[in-house]
Amino acid sequence: MACSFVYDTFPQNEDEPNLIMENAEYVRIVNGNPEVRVNAEEIRRYEAKHTMELDNLSFEQYNAAPEGQEAIPEVNTRGKAGQARMETDTGNVNISGGVSITVISEDFSMETTELSWQDKERLLNAPGTVNITRSNGTTMKGTQFSADARSRSWEFGSAVEGSVVEDDNN
């Protein structure tokens, strides 16, 4: 007895997902090392569009391994959101719906309604209101937030309110 699958019998509508996963975990591997781990209530993958849509997700991003070395997975960033749309070919991500992110290496947490990550450029943008807190009690609130991960710099495009607590060791 033999079995075969004929995939081209029914044309695939690119607006229909090729794969739907519920209560799933997705791990993006780069150069043999985990880069990000995402858990989602639902993941829909669209091969023709090179995208994935995720609902009710949480994620962890790991520190990159030195060139040519195997990484020991160490979480650098944690977050959660209601929805996300990831471009599987570029690594760019748009996140919305109660976005909460903590960057451990920079000692800050942020909350906003939506943000976008441009992977190649290493840029983070949030057009709406962003609340930032640090463990030392610093709080900031403003709009049009942008961050450059390469230069480790960030700014608001509007007036900022809050309080900055100076650390004794700086």
The pLDDT of residue 1:
44
22 burial via Cβ count (<10 Å: 0-12, 13-18, 19+): exposed
Task: Mean pLDDT check: name the lowest of 88-97, 117-126, 135-144, 158-167.
Answer: 158-167
Q: What is the pTM for the complete model shown?
A: 0.79
The pLDDT of residue 7:
52
Residue 88's φ and ψ, nearest 5 degrees, are -70, -25
